[in-house]
Structure 1
Amino acid sequence: MSGAHPTLAFIGCGRITRALVQGLVGAGHPAHLLRGVSRSGAGALALSREFGITAVDGSADAVRGADIVVLAVHPHQTPEALAALSGLLGPEQTLLSLVASWRTEAVAAPLPGVPVVRAVPNVGVGVRAGATVFSAGPRTDASRLRAVEQLFAPLGETLTVAEELLETVSAVSGAGPALVAHFARSLAGAGVAQGLDERTAAVLAAHAVRSTGALLAQDAMTVDAVIDSVASPGGMTEAALRVLDADEVPAAARRAVDAAVRLSMGRLARA
């Protein structure tokens, strides 16, 4: 890679690309080393205006001289995007695929000699409090994988798993912020039903989520430890937890993750 900061080309400039650009620029990655291209051009231009990255018109301009090419398109757009990249990349570059439901072998097939890494980041990378999970694909050695992990390290937690687990990772971590936000909205709604105004209830629910995440990020703090630090025997927290268990919230969470994984696996079978 060239210099302390690699040059990145983003193929696709949607929500997760925006989060990555926000996090990288916030962490000190020079904006002029980030390029973006999008189908209509609007997404890349928006990121250029907001963060100062370079918006280009086509894949060839985006990937020329890039150390890492980030493929961040929808699954149904992937064949077209890979066709546009075919013949443009060399073995000195890394293709980082963020595409859901596409295995690295399928991504690598039209790109002979190009190392491929698959990653599942979540939107928390935008505020440098996210998690990104990696899996090494074809032609990717340990040093290449480590370089990509180091790029994402300032954006939050980085982990590596076997590729067959990435659909579950997508459901738990990628979709996780939406699932947690859904619960926060329900928690705030319960407060409003008890008489709080909407803003106060929303702030309290948001900080409950934020503070819990901060506590769980500590190595010595487990989920049970957080619960025990709040729930006194016979107290109101314990009463509330009994209701959640009686209403099968844990089982609902399992069903939600299962539904997400089944959808992704179905797409994977068709890719």
Structure 2
Amino acid sequence: MKIGLIGYGRMGKSFVEGILRSNIIDKKSIFIYDINEEKLKIAKEDGLIVKKSLSELENCDIIIIAVKPKDYNQLLDDMKDKINTNPLIVSFAAGIKISYIESKLGENAKIVRVMPNICTSIGEAVSAIIFNKNVKENEKLIINKIFENLGMVILLENEDLIDVITGLSGSGPAYFFLIMKSMVELGKKYGLDENIAIKLVAQTCKGAGALVLQSKEDLDKLIRMVATPGGITEEALKIMISRDIMNIIHSSISTAIEKAKLIHQNISK
């Protein structure tokens, strides 16, 4: 199986690092194309095969598009002209709907929309996936296998939910990094070595997530399990609640979700 990757930015690079780490695909079966020469140089330094034109990807079984939404219009036009085969097209972009890609590449195009996150690089991502009607069952299995090796897979039937998932888990690592940064800085303020603070905070975040996934208890019960009445955790939570932390989180992530929706509206004009 040959995979072509268009765009060797953060998400494209993370994807490649993840699939190589999982050993499901050999380096010799991955081909990188990017209009940015500097990105191609980085791909070469990473030991990958680079291609100078889109037409050189037409023998790939799967083509992953990992470019910014604003670059899709021209890219899809170029792909229509230069790729004469019918590979599986996997799109990572927020806000770019399957119908838009079909309008550019043709009604027979086999399209998969995936919303992963940067944690693909270590096999700890969550990837939401939806297929168009042209993708065959055996091809769905191949895509599922690839992304299951990069973390958790959520299969969707309603494409509109990808905008929600973009705001929650696509952008999600950055939210946690910000919270973790704040906790690390506080630890340093109280005398902790930075490396120790990072380990404490990161492992706490990792452990909390693992507990949520493995526990049969709901989130409110898990909070109560830590925040015993009159205890120090309860005091911290009182401050968070009094400052309306839930509203801050909701309004922030809602903004991200609405922006994802706007991308499609703007690009379709």
Q: Distance in 2 between matches of 1:196 and 1:126?
A: 29
Following superposition of structure 1 onto structure 2, how do residues 193-232 of structure 1 map, counting pairs within 5 Å?
193-218=189-214, 220=216, 222-232=218-228
Q: CA deviation at 1:249?
A: 1.4
CA offsets per residue over residues 59-86 of structure 1, 9 Å max, x none? 111x232111001111111111111110
Q: Which residue of 1 aligns with 2:28?
A: 32
Answer yes or no: is 1:177 the counterpart of 2:169. Answer: no
Contact 1:192 1:198 in 2 (8 A): yes
Q: CA deviation at 1:214?
A: 2.6
Q: Which residue of 2 aligns with 1:3?
A: none
Q: Distance in 1 between matches of 2:10 and 2:215?
A: 30
Counterpart residue identity of residue 33, structure 1: S
Contact 2:111 2:132 in 1 (8 A): yes
Alignment partner of 1:269: what SS?
Answer: helix
Q: Distance in 1 between matches of 2:32 and 2:228?
A: 52
Q: Which residue of 1 aligns with 2:103?
A: 109
Q: Which residue of 1 aligns with 2:113?
A: 118
Q: Considering only aligned residues, what root-mean-square deviation do their CA atoms show, in Å?
A: 1.8
The range that moved more, 195-204 or 78-87, is 195-204
Q: Which residue of 2 aligns with 1:22?
A: 17
CA offsets per residue over residues 77-98 of structure 1, 9 Å max, x none? 111111111041433x210011
Runs (5+) with no aligned partner, structure 1: 1-5
Contact 1:11 1:73 in 2 (8 A): yes
Q: Distance in 2 between matches of 1:108 and 1:10?
A: 19
Runs (5+) with no aligned partner, structure 2: none
In structure 2, do the counterparts of structure 1 residues 148 and 219 end up closer, same or farther at CA, with 3 Å as the change threshold? farther
List 4+ stretches of structure 1 deviating above 6 A: none
Counterpart residue identity of residue 131, structure 2: A
Counterpart residue identity of residue 7, structure 2: G
Q: CA deviation at 1:194?
A: 3.0
Q: Which residue of 1 aligns with 2:52?
A: 57
Contact 1:8 1:68 in 2 (8 A): yes
Q: Which residue of 1 aligns with 2:188?
A: 192
Q: CA deviation at 1:148?
A: 0.9
Aligned length: 263
Contact 1:168 1:261 in 2 (8 A): yes
Alignment partner of 2:5: what SS?
Answer: strand
Counterpart residue identity of residue 101, structure 1: G
Q: Which residue of 2 aligns with 1:245?
A: 241
Contact 1:69 1:96 in 2 (8 A): yes
Contact 1:105 1:138 in 2 (8 A): no
Counterpart residue identity of residue 20, structure 1: F
Counterpart residue identity of residue 103, structure 1: K
TM-score, L = length of structure 1: 0.90
- % of aligned pairs identical? 21
Q: Which residue of 2 aligns with 1:83?
A: 77
Contact 1:101 1:167 in 2 (8 A): yes
Q: Which residue of 1 aligns with 2:149?
A: 154
Contact 1:9 1:70 in 2 (8 A): yes
In structure 2, do the counterparts of structure 1 residues 155 and 222 end up closer, same or farther at CA, with 3 Å as the change threshold? farther
Alignment partner of 2:254: what SS?
Answer: helix
Q: Distance in 1 between matches of 2:218 and 2:85?
A: 45
Q: CA deviation at 1:25?
A: 0.3
Q: Distance in 2 between matches of 1:138 and 1:105?
A: 11
Answer yes or no: is 1:130 the counterpart of 2:108. Answer: no
TM-score, L = length of structure 2: 0.91
Q: CA deviation at 1:219?
A: 5.5
Q: Which residue of 2 aligns with 1:46?
A: 42
Contact 1:108 1:138 in 2 (8 A): no
Q: Distance in 1 between matches of 2:189 and 2:168?
A: 29
Q: Distance in 2 between matches of 1:221 and 1:56?
A: 50
Q: Distance in 2 between matches of 1:132 and 1:219?
A: 22
Q: Distance in 2 between matches of 1:127 and 1:225?
A: 30
